[in-house]
Structure 1
Amino acid sequence: MMKYCLLIMILAGLLRGNAYAQDSIENNLLKLMQQYQAIGLSVAVVKDNKIIYNKSFGYKNPDDKTIVRNTDIFRIASISKSFTATSLMQLVEQGRISLTDEVTRLVGFKVNNPKYPDVPITLEMILSHTSSINDKNGYFTLDAINPEKNPDWARCYNDYKPGEGYQYCNLNFNMAGAILERISGERFDQYVKNHILQPLHLYGGYVVDSLGHDRLVPLYEYNDSTKAFEAAPAAYASPKAKLAGYTRGYSTPVFSPTGGMKISALDLARYMMMHMNYGSSNGVQIISEASSKTMQTKRSDKENYGLALWSTENLINGEKMVGHTGSAYGLYSSMFFQPEKKFGFVVITNGCIPQYKKSMVALLYDVINELYNEMVK
């Protein structure tokens, strides 16, 4: 009997210790939110290939004090690019396209840098931002770069040779989304739903009309002139009106393959685990190990960017992390993992003062390091 009592006392002590540790972490996260005036925050932590922590703080709406819940979903901005690249890697595996295919053939109009007319721009180049294409004409329509639609199309190209330079470009991924539609025959949002979200049992998507509006977290952009946050309702604008005249394989930017995914921190962590495990999660294979490693292999030494995933040693001291960030409409998001050691983090805020540390929004940087030091290290 004495042994059982002793065991119960030990277990109770461990539980109290864990509770105190978690309270300490949460107090530190709240202090960071206060420091950067974050409106809301949602985080998820993966350790030893398991989600060990998921917590949300602050407000969806600071006026009526509606709190952020773990089930709430955010527009995650440029982390969305990895969903587009993952989808295309599925088609590569099926032999329907190749990373070396010319974009001109895949997208259905001429995509060619006029300064280097004999150098083809390939699918791999647009997925790695080495295409020599820029966003000078915008990226909300493919008309921006289509010579048949825009007499100013040449402005979309930089002076360097395709494949030899790097410039982050949203137009690259809106074209990639159009290619996905043309080759698969499925509308972009439906393809991602059918081939990534549903197999992994994730709740999310690109069309707000198909998502629970009570779960959408409003975004707030910080105005440095007025020192105030301003609501950004355009982040969740319905595409319904634009879908009436939708042309599959061309109107694709309506869904924003470059930044339009809406998902919770928890489900984004589950998606992240698929990449962390080189293409599979919980027995579900989304892409092959070879395809996953291809995505994680850098194409640019300058930025360490692969195919919609980049590697960095500047986030956590002594650790090489792989992932992506996102920013739009005041939102800042991050998804980073360590594929060998099987840990990772998702951190999303719906608004904060955008200070920076080592090329990352300081709030995200500090939160990730706090979670690493207290829960993973």
Structure 2
Amino acid sequence: MEQKNQITEQSKDFSPLKDSLTADLNKIKDKKNIVGFSTSIVNENGILYNKGFGLSNTENQSKYTKNTIQNIASISKTLIGISLFKAQEMGKLNLDDPVNDYLPFKVINPTYPEIPITIRHLSTHTSTIMDSDNFWENTYILKKTDHPKNVSVFGYMKRPDSKIPFRDFLKSLLAEKGQLYTPDNFSKEKPGQKFSYSNLGATLCALVIESATKKSYDKFTRDNILTPLEMNNSGWSIKAVDSTKTSKLYGNYESVLADYSILTYPDGGLLTSSSDLSKLLTEFIKGYAGNGTLLSKESYKKLFENQLSKSQMPEGTEANFGIFLDFSKGFMGDDFRTIGHSGGDPGVVAGMFFNPRTGLGRILILNTDSDFDDAVTPQFKEIWSTINKYGKELNGEKPIAKNAYN
């Protein structure tokens, strides 16, 4: 019986359409600008396509598979949004509460000390908290000190003994007498006045959740998101995942990056695979349709509401923003509106979006940096467009051109 089930499961991965999609993605992989990547297509019912390409480790020639694990950068922030509404459902906080009602230290914009920064300000990037040089120069922490000559180490990456709890790091940056405090950590705008993307503000939001729920953010997200969705190969540290399945990160084919962690892990440090991340995207699609399992219908409705007025949005921007969700138009060449988040860190480029009109979702995770090779971003776009084209038919939408995959 077990062998029969395995054969049935394997047969789901093969069809003329999927085979053609795999062939097209292999052609992109063979250009050898991207070392390794995985991609997934999902809808409300689950995974329609999920496969890895290229290598997770060039030294031992390990294949990048659908179960290969790496960090996904700012896509991690989408878990903060779910966590906020879960904590609100539990009666632990309200999105319009001042953050200083919960934090163990005071956070005040020095230009407007009389205007409180609220949780909603943090979650919509209107808090006026900025990612200053002090933030960028201290958040990436090396896993070890000695590296072979072929391993790239960036100057802003700190020694392993620089690692401190993210609560202490935030206090040093944002509390008035903190070691890394400077007025430049805040913009000159009034809190709530203007959108300005902030990794630091997002991580502060995770600290609010910790303080309000009396649980570490790691444990809160595991108990309320990762475990219920059976994202068993995901976590916030290398100790929480199967290290034998992790990918190296690359500048390009010739440059492997030093292993690092992110001090402000809630804003970009989730380690996961396309297989596991597909479960999260499927949940978002279900939630948008009123069938989500993690939050109530009312919470999901609020999660997906436009949060910014026209005056709050950057000039020339057609998109809007939800609670740690990007309502994008034109992401990587798309000519329609999508909901989700993108991500980028050293050696990482990633995207997770779904079309709210059709319910088709796409995930793409790269282990190669886009800053080192000008061809990486165009190839990301090429893969993104390809999985959209095939995804439409896998999702039962209008067929692609006749014979396109025969």
Question: TM class, shorter-chain normalised?
Answer: 0.7 to 0.9
Over 3 Å counting, the alpha-carbon distance change for 1:119 and 1:356 in structure 2 is farther
Shift of 1:117: 1.8
User: Equivalent residue of 2:266, what SS?
Assistant: coil
Deviation digits for residues 140-196 of structure 1 (CA, Å, limit 9, x no counterpart): 411111113237332211111111112111111221121111111111111111111
The aligned counterpart of 2:384 is 368
| Pick aligned residue for 2:260 from 211, 215, 234 | 234
- 1:52 paired with 2:48, answer yes
The aligned counterpart of 2:175 is 146
The aligned counterpart of 2:247 is 217
User: Equivalent residue of 2:352, what SS?
Assistant: strand
- Aligned-partner Cα distance in 2 for 1:366–1:164: 37
- Aligned-partner Cα distance in 1 for 2:94–2:384: 36
- Aligned-partner Cα distance in 2 for 1:367–1:135: 31
- Aligned-partner Cα distance in 1 for 2:43–2:95: 33
| Pick aligned residue for 1:107 from 87, 95, 103 | 103
Give TM-score scaled by structure 2 length.
0.76
Q: Which amino acid aligns with 1:150?
A: Q
The aligned counterpart of 2:277 is 268
- Aligned-partner Cα distance in 2 for 1:48–1:132: 36
Q: Percent identity?
A: 25
The aligned counterpart of 1:306 is 322
The aligned counterpart of 1:41 is 37
Give TM-score scaled by structure 1 length.
0.82
Over 3 Å counting, the alpha-carbon distance change for 1:280 and 1:186 in structure 2 is farther
For the Cα contact (< 8 Å) 1:36–1:352, is it kept in 2? no
The aligned counterpart of 1:333 is 350
The aligned counterpart of 1:240 is none
- Aligned-partner Cα distance in 1 for 2:323–2:204: 14
| Structure 1 segments unaligned to the other structure (5+ residues) | 1-14, 236-252
| Structure 2 segments unaligned to the other structure (5+ residues) | 1-10, 140-168, 398-406
User: Equivalent residue of 2:260, what SS?
Assistant: helix
The aligned counterpart of 2:210 is 181
For the Cα contact (< 8 Å) 2:175–2:181, is it kept in 1? no
Over 3 Å counting, the alpha-carbon distance change for 1:318 and 1:135 in structure 2 is closer
For the Cα contact (< 8 Å) 1:206–1:255, is it kept in 2? no
User: Equivalent residue of 1:164, what SS?
Assistant: coil
Over 3 Å counting, the alpha-carbon distance change for 1:36 and 1:66 in structure 2 is closer
Shift of 1:24: 2.6
User: Equivalent residue of 1:322, what SS?
Assistant: strand
| Pick aligned residue for 1:257 from 266, 277, 281 | 266
Over 3 Å counting, the alpha-carbon distance change for 1:340 and 1:93 in structure 2 is farther
Q: Which amino acid aligns with 1:327?
A: G
Over 3 Å counting, the alpha-carbon distance change for 1:356 and 1:194 in structure 2 is farther
Shift of 1:228: 4.0
For the Cα contact (< 8 Å) 1:189–1:207, is it kept in 2? no
For the Cα contact (< 8 Å) 2:131–2:199, is it kept in 1? yes
For the Cα contact (< 8 Å) 1:103–1:121, is it kept in 2? yes
